[in-house]
Structure 1
Amino acid sequence: MLQSDADNFFQTSDSVAEQKRRQAKADNKNGNPVALTSKVLAVHADEQDPDAVYIAEAAGTARRVVLETGDTSTVYTGAAAPLTSLTILRSPSAEPILFAACWDKTIHSWNLKTRRPLHRFTGHSDFVKCVLATHISGTPVLLSGSADSTIVVWNVETGRKIHTLKGHARAVLDLALDPAATTDDELCLFSADTVRDIRCWRITLDSVSEPLTTPLRPHETSVNRLRFEDSLVVDVEDADADADLWTASSDKTAQRLVRSRDWATDTTLPHPDFVRDIVIDQQAGWVITACRDEEVRVWSSASGELACVFSGHFNEVTGLALMPPAQGSRASRVVSVSIDGTLRVWTLDPADMKKAQEEYERQQQGVEVEKEPEAKKESMLTAEEEAELAELMDSDDE
């Protein structure tokens, strides 16, 4: 049924109602939102500053955000299309580099400190979905996964391809290094795609091999994120906890794949919609997930029980970053970013989690909670680009 209101021509009653719901929810101050001028598609923690993150925007800019002040003035420009993923390369003898995967089928790079644009990596034939930077035998390398179904290993210093990895049938959505099997001279890389395959690669400067005879297929559809536990944090006497792999999928689940059981699933976390991201606070025993239903959830990694729902975003949550405790606190923080154009910070302090859960339950019961209004920021995308972005996000889940 179409609305007759002149302001809502060509919109269904359901779409108008959804728009009004989101506008009403946008007024909340949960998570101390930092409002941005564009949809945010990814977030990456600043490993050198416990109070800052880098974000990738649909407007084609990367930006550094200081959590305490909300300062967003450090901007990396040059791309003319949405950025989908970020990674940072730090080398002992060189300035740090920020890399961003882009819709324009390339990877952009900048000097992290000066913001000066550096090399632009070209060679993929479709959108670049994910990037990861590291070293092999002392050589700085960049790995990129694309909608063209390939993974490319680049020499950062020369800008040339070292390897092109073929094996995925469709878009590669995420890359993760296995911390328990990667060495200075050989990477153990896991990659995930829209078909649902998780593949494993061993990569040196001279060779590539696949140690798994068949891909891992724990999910029913797209695997959006791969996160390994930190092998340096777990109890080395506990073999089952030695850098296991957590996954987030569009089949509405997150799962833990256990290394000692040939990557069999031992924990499944059910969600009401696509799971976009996942991070692990091992020391506190929490697993945090981002969902298309606009919520951030905290789960017990031991029991798989839901502990808390952080509700504040008013559109799809696209990324998470685990951050150290704020000064004077002992609890870690989680930064979430969203299509709604905000960044929010949540503390994993038990008292704060309890308060957030109580408010969430009141909201679910229809009890209004008074909140201060927030100024609305306009998107920098055109209507056509907005539609294209929505189509792209949905295409990852087909």
Structure 2
Amino acid sequence: MKLKRFLLRYYPPGIILEYEQGGKVKRKCIDLLQLQKDTNIEIVLGEIAAREPLISPHRLDQVRALIAKLRERLEPDYKKFSLFKIMKAHLLPLTNLAFNKPGSQFITGSYDRTCKVWDTSTGEEIHTLEGHGNVVYTISFNNPYGDKIATGSFDKTCKLWSAATGKCMFTLKGHTGEVVSVGFHPTSSTVSTGSMDTTAKLWNATTGEELCTLIGHTGEIITLSYNTDGTQLLTGSFDHTVSIWDTETGKKLMGLDEHTEEISSAQFNFTGDMVATGSLDKTCNLWDIRTGKVIANLANHEDEVLDVSFDWAGAKLVTASSDTTGYIYDVRSREPLYRLEGHNGEVSKAMFNPQGTRILTTSSDKSARVWDVNSGLCTQILEGHTDDIFSCAFNYDGDMIITGSKDNTCRLWRHHV
């Protein structure tokens, strides 16, 4: 084996080794999930050198510099976000939005049956993706590549588009109900769709061919996501359950069925050994995927849990609820650290920034809020929308935010240093 070069992954921090073996170029990743701003670099370097034969002594200075670079990116000096531009994006309310990985473009879906592609640096529209016969409800870039876009619609189809040209590549037909969730495999080889017809489907993202149908739920599938290496797909349903599927065979691996009401949100942690589920039964469950058992029932909310999200390290979890609050939990102790209080309407979305230092929430009170993870305090209120804010996103560097509202606009916010 011969080491060719190093690549960096900032969030979560990791060093990717590209090496040659048997005439083929391969990659392996050294995950540094425990890296902190005050981590002793020499200790980490020693641990890596002891367990990784590809890294010879003459490479240690290079690795030391890479660890230092990763550590520096963990605590950006962001103070406040300011409004950069208001996009009067659609004729009817927005449904969803998303950045590509570099943050150079973002997309918006709408009840007006279109998806629009926007230039982040200027706030100008690049493409309008037209062709659906009903609401464009769910949208996704094939990150980290960002050259394809998937749109799922109430017209029961999913369309795959070229991000560069805005042209439709394939229309994926086969569902008998509205398509309400889409997601790309981490390698962009397949795209998954979840539908109100109670099934999910896997499709070849290069040819548009249907690969398999995931049958087993008895209610609408409203959320789906892949684990980090793409070997498993998670589906959450109105039938109160979550299922985990093998993406190679399409076979169901396990069902998670302790909730008593509809699932609202479900997510793998980065290492793929744990799942968090939010439910209209007012609780969030943490599951050990190795056993399929609940390891914690988080029942601090007084109303429906609408969203759940891990930080990149899987050390913390945030929940959002109809009771106008959120909670930050310590995953290891399963204890609540902070209650996020301040909104006066339901909190529909909550997410960590890529660094894991801030949380962004959106609410029906027409505002979004930024919170400090280490204190639970609100550091900024993003105001100006004139109707419910139901969707939001950080870019990969965490220095930009998009908010989408029922007022038919989205707003782009940039940080002050």
Normalised by the length of structure 2, the TM-score is 0.61
Instruction: Check conservation: 1:41, 1:56, Cα contact below 8 A.
Output: yes
Q: Select 1:214's aligned residue among 258, 272, 279.
A: 258
Which residue is 1:314 aligned to? 386
Question: What aligned pairs does 1:341-356 form with structure 2 within 5 A after superposition?
Answer: 341-349=408-416
* Aligned residue identity for 2:229: T
* Aligned residue identity for 1:246: V
The whole-number CA distance in structure 1 between the counterparts of 2:121 and 2:175 is 38
Q: Select 2:244's aligned residue among 194, 201, 211.
A: 201
Aligned-pair distance for 1:151? Answer: 2.8
C-alpha distance 198-293 of structure 1, shift in aligned 2 (>3 A): farther
1:100 aligns with 2:100: no
* Aligned residue identity for 1:111: S
Q: Matched residues, percent identical? A: 18
Which residue is 1:155 aligned to? 204
Which residue is 2:18 aligned to? none
Instruction: Check conservation: 1:192, 1:224, Cα contact below 8 A.
Output: no
Which residue is 1:230 aligned to? 312
SS in 2 for 1:163: strand
Give structure 2 stretches of 5+ with no counterpart. Answer: 1-81, 260-276, 283-302
The whole-number CA distance in structure 2 between the counterparts of 1:161 and 1:46 is 26
Which residue is 1:72 aligned to? 125
Which residue is 1:334 aligned to? 401
Question: What aligned pairs does 1:11-26 form with structure 2 within 5 A after superposition?
Answer: none
C-alpha distance 177-266 of structure 1, shift in aligned 2 (>3 A): farther
C-alpha distance 84-77 of structure 1, shift in aligned 2 (>3 A): same
1:116 aligns with 2:167: yes
Aligned residue-pair number: 294
Instruction: Check conservation: 2:241, 2:258, Cα contact below 8 A.
Output: no
Instruction: Check conservation: 2:399, 2:414, Cα contact below 8 A.
Output: yes
Higher relative contact order (CA 8 A, sep 6+): 1
Normalised by the length of structure 1, the TM-score is 0.64
The whole-number CA distance in structure 1 between the counterparts of 2:171 and 2:304 is 28
C-alpha distance 72-249 of structure 1, shift in aligned 2 (>3 A): same
The structure that is helix-richer by fraction is 1
Instruction: Check conservation: 1:162, 1:205, Cα contact below 8 A.
Output: no
1:53 aligns with 2:99: no
C-alpha distance 246-116 of structure 1, shift in aligned 2 (>3 A): same
Which residue is 2:30 aligned to? none
Aligned-pair distance for 1:134? Answer: 0.8
Bigger shift: residues 147-156 or 77-86: 147-156
Instruction: Check conservation: 2:400, 2:414, Cα contact below 8 A.
Output: yes
Which residue is 1:41 aligned to? 95
Q: Select 1:146's aligned residue among 183, 195, 210.
A: 195
* Aligned residue identity for 2:85: N
Which residue is 1:172 aligned to? 221
* Aligned residue identity for 1:67: T
* Aligned residue identity for 1:55: T
The whole-number CA distance in structure 1 between the counterparts of 2:388 and 2:332 is 34
Aligned-pair distance for 1:284? Answer: 6.3
Q: Select 2:318's aligned residue among 246, 249, 266.
A: 246
